[in-house]
Structures are given as C-alpha cells and as structure tokens.
Chain A
Amino acid sequence: MFPIKLSQVGFTPDGRSVLAGVDLEIDVDGITVILGPNGAGKTILLRMLAGLQAPHGGTIRWNGNGLPAAGIAMVFQHPVLLRSSVFHNAGLGLQPLALGRAETLRRTQHTLERVGLAHRAADSARLLSGGERQRLALARAWAMQPKLLLLDEPTAALDPSATESVERIIREIRSDGARIVMTTHNLGQAMRIADDIVFLASGRVIERAPASRFFARPQTNEAKLFIQGELPWRIAFDD
C-alpha cells in the first residue's frame, strides 16, 4: 500500500476548483494531520485516499498500484451507526472480510474493550453519548486492523474529556501499526498528536513539515497567518 503517491491531483466539482495540482506522498509510519482553512479540500483528500472519490485530474497510486482490496478504514465526521447493538456495530466492518464466526467475535470483543465500551456491548448504538459514538466508530474501524486509517474531524463537537479519550485511542491505534491520516480544526490537537503536518490552502499543499517544526517555524506566510489567526480562538474553545 505504501507509499501512497498523489501527483497533480485535481478536484473540480461543477467547474469550481477545490483541489488543483496536489502532490503528496504518504509513507508507512506515523500520524499525519491535514490542516487548512474551511473549504480547503481536506475531507475530499481523505476520501480520495480511501478510494471513495476519484480525482478529476492527476493520479493516486498506492505503492505504484491501484486501490488495494483491503487495509483502509475511514471514520467520517458524523459516523452513522446501525439501529442495533454496540457489539453488532463494532463488528460491522469485519463482515466483508469473512474471518469466520469465532475470530469475528474475538476481534470485536477485544476492540470494544480497548475503546472502553465492552460494558455497553449489548446496548443500542444510537442511544450512546457523542463521545461514546465516536469511540464506537473508531472501534469499528480499528477492528478491521487497517494499515491506513483515515479520520475526518474525529473530535468535532466533543467535550474536552471525550476529546482526550479519542486522542488516546488514536495513539493506541497507531502503536498497533496503523498509518493515520486525519483532519482537524483543533490546532492544539494537531500539536498533541501529529507527527507531521500537511498544510492545505487554495487547493494546493502549501507546506509539509514535521509537527514540531511546523508550529515553531512555519515556512510560509499562509501557514504563519493560519497558526496565529486560528490558534488562540481554537484553544479557548476546545481545550
């Protein structure tokens, strides 16, 4: 699967240019956070990495090949859960993998324990709190043991303690060996968990750097303005 290479990728819905000439390489390890103003095309970029959206221009290659048959999982900004038990939802992504009944049950149970929802396995997924729903969505993706996990705003609209437990889970999934690419509006979160930052603006990758360097010494004016403009406001609100 790795490296994933995007070359001159464009996305122009209804003739409007959202992404234009994006070049990006995702290699095998770490947590990459995509930052950028609203409408920069962050979500669309995740969908392209998941193979859910074909680019309108340019190419995406997964280790030189087309979309791999398995190994990619995605958690959407507003995860939709089936009207059914927490346990059933957690194991949903395993159905197409045909692992066999015992292995499916074992993995589902194990993952629920790791996100701290094992005690709610029999409850209805749709009656969980916002933080629990997000953890369940992460469990559903995690149980699939993906090589690449894509997260779109995983803590939007969560309170600080729920945000903290989601971040803890994201780190654990990474130590489990999954490559993580995520978006967030929360710069504090990006500082806390990102290994490297992809800064997207005006439909292009403006800057890519290790997280520590990006926040300490942004190379471009756009990134500087973004960090200065957004940072105090976001911290005040989310953390």
Chain B
Amino acid sequence: MLDTFLEALSLLGRLDEHVLAIVWLSFKVGLSTVTLATLIGLPLGALVAVASFPGRSIATVVLNGMMGLPSVVVGVIIYLILSRSGPLGGFGLLYSPPAMILAQTVLVVPLMAALTRQIIEDAWREYANEFRSMRFSLRHTIVSLLYDCRFSLVVAVLAGMGRSLSEVGAVMIVGGNIEGFTRTMTTAIALETAKGDLPLSLALGMVLLSVVLVLNAGAYNLRQWAMRKYG
C-alpha cells in the first residue's frame, strides 16, 4: 500500500507529455460540458424556481431525482442515440469528444439546474415584491436573479465541473477510451487499474484530486472576496 503510494508520488514528478495530453482533454471536455450545462441548467433551474406553471412541483421532484442519474445509464442512452444505427447516427459523433460532451451535459444539467433552483428560490422570496412592482418580465426576473446570485451559483457550476471531471461511466461508453483522442483522466485511471498498474492510476487520481481541490479553493476565495465586496 505504502509502496504503491510512494511510487505514485515519484510518477507525479515526471508527468510526461502523454499524461498532460490526457489531463488537457479532460479539461476541454469538462469546460465544454460545464459551459453548455451552465447555459442550459442555470436558466432552467431559475425558471422552475420562479415561474408558476401547472406541474411545477413535479418538475422540481424530477429535477432533484435526475441529480442521481447513474452515468452509465446516460452513457448507454446517448450511445444508442449516437450509434450509426441510432436516430442521430448520421452525424458520426460516437467515439468522439463531442459525444462525451453531449453525454456529460445530459448528466450535469439536472444537477446544476436543481442546485440553481434552490439558490434562486431563496433569492426570489426576497425580491418578489420589488421585481413585481417594477413589472419585470419572466426573462428580466430570471436574468436579474441569476446575476444577483452569481457568486452562490459558482457552487452549482463547480458541482457540475466536479461531476464532469470525475465521471467515468458515460465518457467510457460514448468516448470509447481511445488513446490520444477520447482518453480522459478517469477513463485512463480505469484502464490503468484494469492493467494492474495501480501506481499510475493513483498518480492520475492525485492529479484529478488536486485539480478539483484547486477549483474549490478558487471558488472559496471568490466567494470570500464577493462577500466582502458586495455584502
């Protein structure tokens, strides 16, 4: 156990180009996923928080439930959709980064929307009178609430980034873990573990962990700064 750990540490000292390419791809996929999921999930969560429509409570329950969606299930569904014999097969997207981004977006949007809904619902209680008196449209209400909660929403975005970076089931299935093309940190870890190369997978795991820690530390500092600046 200790030997494995020490060997992993020594591997970290000589991160080669090959490993850095994997880390970089993870980032690209993660950032693209989070960008897309932010554009969809935040307004969606805010909409469910603010709009009154029949079935709103059902939408809330569905959103919360989908947070726990197993990534493998999403992977298989997206696989079947993108497969050449599936409905979107004509685009030839399977086993490519866009397929991974798509699958992860499906996975991450409910998570980000559900967190956003909670945050926005609290803010909405505070602002409802003001915004109504200013005759804000639904769009203005959502935009202003998202803007007002921007620093709290970092948590939602970060949760999405964390899930995207650490997720393995969906990217493995739709990406195919192709070396130099769709191999991310998590699928590489799965592969190295399968090959019995535990030090290397541990080293990759440490890279993943430090990335997530750095992101969280950054977000924490951002919130501290925002709290001082904006109250």
- Give me the interface of A with B, judged by CB distance under 8 Å: 50, 52, 69-70, 72-74, 76, 79-80, 82-84, 92-93, 95-96, 124, 126-127, 144
* B129–A52 touching, CB < 8 Å: yes
In angstroms, Cα B151 to Cα A152, docked, is: 31
Besides A83-B151, A124-B230, 16 new A-B residue pairs in contact (Cβ under 8 A), listed by A number: A52-B129, A52-B133, A74-B129, A74-B133, A76-B130, A80-B126, A80-B127, A83-B150, A84-B230, A95-B134, A95-B136, A96-B134, A96-B137, A124-B229, A126-B231, A127-B230
Q: Is the CB of A73 within 8 A of B134?
A: yes
Instruction: Give the complex CA separation of A127 and B227 in angstroms.
Output: 10
Whether A92 contacts B134 by the Cβ 8 Å rule is: yes
Contact with A along B140-153 (1 / 0, CB 8 A): 10001001111100
The answer to whether B229 and A96 have CB atoms under 8 Å apart is no
Q: Which residue of A lies closest to B151 (CB)?
A: A83
Q: In the complex, how many residue pairs between chain A and chain B have their CB atoms under 8 Å apart?
A: 53
Within 8 A of A (CB), among B28-85: none
Give Cα A74–Cα B134 distance, bound, in whole angstroms.
8
B residues engaging A (CB < 8 A)?
Answer: 126-127, 129-130, 132-137, 140, 144, 147-151, 226, 229-231
Taking a contact as CB atoms under 8 Å apart, the answer to whether B148 and A82 are in contact is yes
Q: Which residues of B contact A126 (CB under 8 A)?
A: 230-231
Partner of B148, one of A70, A73, A83: A83
Q: In the bound complex, do residue A92 and residue B144 qualify as a contact, i.e. CB atoms below 8 Å apart?
A: yes
Task: Report the bound CA distance from A144 to B134 in whole Å.
Answer: 9
For the complex, what is the distance from the CA of A96 to the CA of B137, rounded to whole Å? 7
Can you spell out 18 A-B residue pairs with CB atoms less than 8 angstroms apart?
A52-B129, A70-B135, A72-B133, A74-B133, A79-B130, A80-B126, A80-B130, A82-B127, A83-B149, A83-B151, A83-B230, A84-B148, A84-B230, A95-B134, A96-B134, A96-B135, A126-B231, A144-B134
